[in-house]
Amino acid sequence: MKNENLTIAAAREKLRTRELSSVELTEFYLARIKKHDPTLHAYLRVDAENALRQAREADMRIQDGTAGPLCGIPIAIKDLICQKGSVTTAGSKTLQKYVAPYDAAVITKLRDAGAIFLGKTNLDEFAMGSSTENSAFAKTANPWDVARVPGGSSGGSAAAVAADLCVGALGTDTGGSIRQPASFCGTVGLKPTYGSVSRYGLMAMTSSLDQIGPLTKTVEDAASVLNAIAGKDPHDATTADTVPVSIDSLKRGVKGMKIGVPREYFIEGMDPEIEAAVRAAIEKLKELGAAVVDVSLPLTKYALAVYQLTVTSEVSTNLARFDGIRYGYSAMNDKTASVKTLMEVYQKTRARGLGDEVKRRIILGTFALSAGYHDRYYVQAQKVRALIAKEFQGVFKEVDCLVTPTSPSIAFKLGEKFTDPLLMYLSDIYTVPANIGGICAISLPCGLSKGLPVGLQIIAKPFDEAALLRAAYAYEQATEWHTKRPPLN
């Protein structure tokens, strides 16, 4: 069966023409997961029985002509997104046995579109990290080199797509958690505009920045998944009405588009091979008819600091709910904790249930919000954040998109940055500005350096995913980087 590396578009066509059934396709992925996942650890749980049941239903719907746009397509879901009746851990010991009592809005939408849920993918605990090493359960390996990280925090989803253990996947992006792993694993990763996709049923890390989006093999597939999950949701008051991206409009090319190259993303001392790959991509876009201009975003240098303070502040409040009272791990039930008072329940539950990175962020956030420091840290960060958003607004009056590297490095070795949080945070330096600015951005493959993928980031103004995807599609189709696959045995 020639089913390797199927895109959503190709799988849909095979299902439509009955060359393949959804059950066969699902069995194909289950077999690949069985073969490769013991090495990669992309998945935390695979639900074969449920997936095959969904696939049988999809085949019936394809037969009777009631198939939705993703009918019969097997996908993977980051384990931060609630799926009713399934264990949803957030990569945390505190939720090791937690069963989600309801479906996230994106799960409902994907169910309605007919998608098959293969299983839940690994992540940094509560999406806090850039390497997936902060998972309480497993360290995911990069399919291109198993001694290296897949990026994070959606590292499981990126590795699963890159290793062809699913057709596509959902991740979440608070500061680069879709785009950076997409870059490290050689896949496409889209962070939609804040407010495009409902966060209902997504475990909150930083509510003002978190956004769900697709990791796929092609730009067209990213558009298909975005169309299925985007739109207003009464359960998430920050969502907006969105216009679906027309797949045909992606093919219009970049002629007449104006693309900006922000000089702050190309700094002295950056990895020369990454710079060369990104510069070559810019030349390619020029060749394709785009007008390329240099632009400047001087406040970029503050984005990571603003991000750190915003994230930790919101984490310190959002994660207060993990207190051992209503669900999840509780020291009350742990004989070795021997708690006597309510205070001890809180303190020991959180001490034992949460990992180091989570604790570190909660404590830093508690500090940034504390009396006496609140104005200097949290409030100042929010003011600078407003200025960064304004700076983006200004530049988008001049250009349609911005083109930058996704990450300052290729995938690093497992353990290389694990003990130095600040060094780890710096791997998000090119991705956080898009979150801080509330705008949309995508990473797509644009080269190989030392045999490992390099990511190109394209950024566009709020709710202009159509322009973003159009530029990304034009570049992708003019090059062959998206066809490169990791050398798995």
Partner 1 sequence: MELNERDIEKLASLARIELTDLEKELFADQISSILDYVKEIQEVDTSSVSEVPFHTRSSNVLRHDQMDQIEDTALSTDQFPAQFGKLNKVKPVMGDEKHEE
CB of 213 to partner 1, least distance (A): 17
Which residue, 306 or 467, is less far from partner 1 as judged by CB?
306
CB of 98 to partner 1, least distance (A): 7
CB of 219 to partner 1, least distance (A): 26
Q: Is residue 243 a contact point for partner 1 (CB under 8 A)?
A: no
Residues 417 to 436 in contact with partner 1, rule: CB under 8 A: 421-422, 425
The answer to whether 78 is a known catalytic residue is yes
What does the per-residue mask of binding to partner 1 show for 176-215, with x meaning CB under 8 A?
------------------xx------------x-------
Total number of residues that touch partner 1 (CB under 8 A):
69
Which residue, 1 or 343, is less far from partner 1 as judged by CB?
343
Q: Is residue 387 a contact point for partner 1 (CB under 8 A)?
A: yes
> What residue type is assigned to position 223 of the chain?
A
Residues 248 to 287 in contact with partner 1, rule: CB under 8 A: none
The active-site residue, picked from 177, 183, 407, 409, is: 177
The active-site residue, picked from 78, 191, 217, 348, is: 78
Which region, judged by CB under 8 A, interacts with partner 1, from 174-182, 242-250, 275-283, 308-316?
308-316
Find the Cα–Cα–Cα–Cα dihedral 458, 464, 469, 472, rounded to 10°: -30
The answer to whether 443 is a known catalytic residue is no
- Residues 6+ away with beta carbon under 8 Å from 468: 190, 401, 440, 441, 442, 458, 459, 460
| Cα–Cα nearest to 169, from 76, 276, 99 | 76
Q: Is residue 345 a contact point for partner 1 (CB under 8 A)?
A: yes
Q: Is residue 302 a contact point for partner 1 (CB under 8 A)?
A: yes
The answer to whether 296 is a known catalytic residue is no
Contact 445, 453 (CB under 8 A): yes
Q: Is residue 305 a contact point for partner 1 (CB under 8 A)?
A: yes
Contact 115, 73 (CB under 8 A): yes
DSSP 8-state symbol, 382: H
Which residue, 52 or 426, is less far from partner 1 as judged by CB?
426
CB of 462 to partner 1, least distance (A): 9
CB of 384 to partner 1, least distance (A): 5
- Residues 6+ away with beta carbon under 8 Å from 463: 193, 195, 196, 240, 242, 440
Candidates 332, 395, 478, 488; binder of partner 1 (CB under 8 A) is 332
Find the Cα–Cα–Cα–Cα dihedral 27, 88, 123, 8, rounded to 10°: 40
Contact 333, 308 (CB under 8 A): no
- What is the rounded distance in angstroms from the CA atom of residue 204 to the CA atom of residue 318? 6
**How far separated are the first and last CA of the chain, in Å rounded?**
17
- What is the rounded distance in angstroms from the CA atom of residue 404 to the CA atom of residue 393? 17
Which region, judged by CB under 8 A, interacts with partner 1, from 168-176, 288-296, 336-344, 403-411?
336-344
Candidates 20, 299, 414, 439; binder of partner 1 (CB under 8 A) is 299
Q: Is residue 60 a contact point for partner 1 (CB under 8 A)?
A: no
- What is the rounded distance in angstroms from the CA atom of residue 192 to the CA atom of residue 100? 25
CB of 262 to partner 1, least distance (A): 18
Residues 347 to 386 in contact with partner 1, rule: CB under 8 A: 347-348, 350-351, 354, 356, 359-360, 362-364, 366-367, 370, 376-377, 379-386
Q: How far is CA 277 from CA 229, 317, 346, 355, in A?
A: 32, 41, 50, 37
Pairing mode of beta strands 168-172, 74-78: parallel
Q: What is the CA radius of gyration of the chain?
A: 21
Candidates 114, 192, 201, 324; binder of partner 1 (CB under 8 A) is 324
> What residue type is assigned to position 314 of the chain?
E
Which residue, 126 or 194, is less far from partner 1 as judged by CB?
194
Q: Is residue 118 a contact point for partner 1 (CB under 8 A)?
A: no
Q: Is residue 18 a contact point for partner 1 (CB under 8 A)?
A: no
- Residues 6+ away with beta carbon under 8 Å from 345: 323, 324, 325, 330, 331, 332, 339
**∠ CA 146-150-154 to the nearest 5 degrees?**
145
Residue 401: enclosing H or E segment and its boundaries?
strand 401-405
Q: Is residue 415 a contact point for partner 1 (CB under 8 A)?
A: no
Candidates 112, 255, 342, 451; binder of partner 1 (CB under 8 A) is 342
Contact 185, 162 (CB under 8 A): yes
Candidates 48, 96, 231, 238; binder of partner 1 (CB under 8 A) is 238
Residue 291: enclosing H or E segment and its boundaries?
strand 291-295
Q: How many CB atoms lie within 10 A of CB 466?
A: 18
Q: Which residues are catalytic?
A: 78, 153, 177
Give contact residues for partner 1 (rule: CB under 8 A).
Answer: 84-85, 98-99, 101-102, 194-195, 208, 234, 237-238, 240, 299, 301-302, 304-306, 308-309, 316, 320, 323-328, 330, 332-333, 339-343, 345-348, 350-351, 354, 356, 359-360, 362-364, 366-367, 370, 376-377, 379-387, 389, 421-422, 425, 438
